[in-house]
Amino acid sequence: MFVKTGARAELLAHERDKFLKEDWPRIAAQIAALELDVATLLAKIPTPPPAQGLIKND
């Protein structure tokens, strides 16, 4: 299988743009409606488990 050079970066850029334009406004509105603050949101970010045997393909 062949993948175009830079395809991952292009896909990430597209997905980030799509998230910020389509998903984030709804999420931000819900955060405001629930009167949540940044400190509370950041405190709730789960700590990811340590990566084991994962290979980064960049």
Q: What is the pLDDT of residues 8-56, one digit of tens each?
A: 999 999 999 999 999 999 999 999 999 999 999 999 998 887 766 656 5
Spatial separation of the C-alpha atoms in residues 9 and 15, rounded to whole Å: 10
Spatial separation of the C-alpha atoms in residues 35 and 37, rounded to whole Å: 7
pLDDT at 57 over 70: no
pTM across the whole model = 0.64
- pLDDT at res. 9: 93
Q: What is the pLDDT of residues 45-54, one digit of tens each?
A: 988 877 666 5
Delimit the domains of the chain by residue range: 7-43
